[in-house]
Every structure is written in structure tokens, then in C-alpha cells.
Amino acid sequence: MGGDIVRKALQAPLRQIATNAGEDGAVVAGKVLENSDYNYGFDAQLGEYKDLVAAGIIDPTKVVRTALQDAASVSGLVLTTEVLVTDKPEPKIPATPPGLTTGSDEYR
């Protein structure tokens, strides 16, 4: 379970970059993962798959390390606490149409 969380978390940045570039993030991630070359990736600016190191597209080590540490920290916390706390969604109350007074509390 924990390995699956980390595996999916590692794909998230690629998927988001591809989505921001107007591509289908899942398709791009799948195509990149099919290739066994670790340098192979997606150039979002040109919309091409290529050897990213040869193209000069690299992430600073500190940025990558920090992202992995944060993801591991959160996944470890979720796995050990067994509980997550979130905000309770507020019910949506319809707005009063302009010029309408109903005398009821249904509209505010």
C-alpha cells in the first residue's frame, strides 16, 4: 500500500506538467513509464518526448529531494495515524432572487 502511494506521488508532477501543457497527463505518464531510459521524458514546451538530460532539461537535486521527502513524510503520517481530518462541507443555500421577498428562511 505504501509503495503504491509513493509510486503514484512520483507520477503526479509529470501528470500536472502535461495537463498544464494541454496534454492528457495519464497518457504522457504512461508513455514515459513504458520507456526504460531514465533520461526519457516529456518536453512540455515543445510537446515532444526526448532525452531530457541531452536537451538540458533537469530539475535541481534539492527540489527533487525536498519533494520526495515531503511526500514520504505525508504518506508515513497517513499510514501511521489511520485517520484523516478534513473540513465538513457546508450545505449550499440558494440565494434570494433579486426583488423577491418570500418571508421564508429557505432563501437568505
**Rounded to whole angstroms, how far apart are CA atoms 5 and 63?**
20
**Rounded to whole angstroms, how far apart are CA atoms 7 and 62?**
20
**Rounded to whole angstroms, how far apart are CA atoms 96 and 108?**
6
CATH of 2-81, one of 3.40.50.150, 1.10.287.70, 3.30.479.30, 1.10.560.10: 1.10.560.10
Could you tell me the residue ranges of all domains in the chain? Answer: 2-81
pLDDT attached to residue 67: 79
pLDDT attached to residue 34: 93
Taking the model in full, what pTM does it have?
0.58
pLDDT attached to residue 69: 86
pLDDT along the chain (108 residues), means of 10: 72 89 94 92 94 90 82 79 79 72 57
pLDDT attached to residue 9: 76
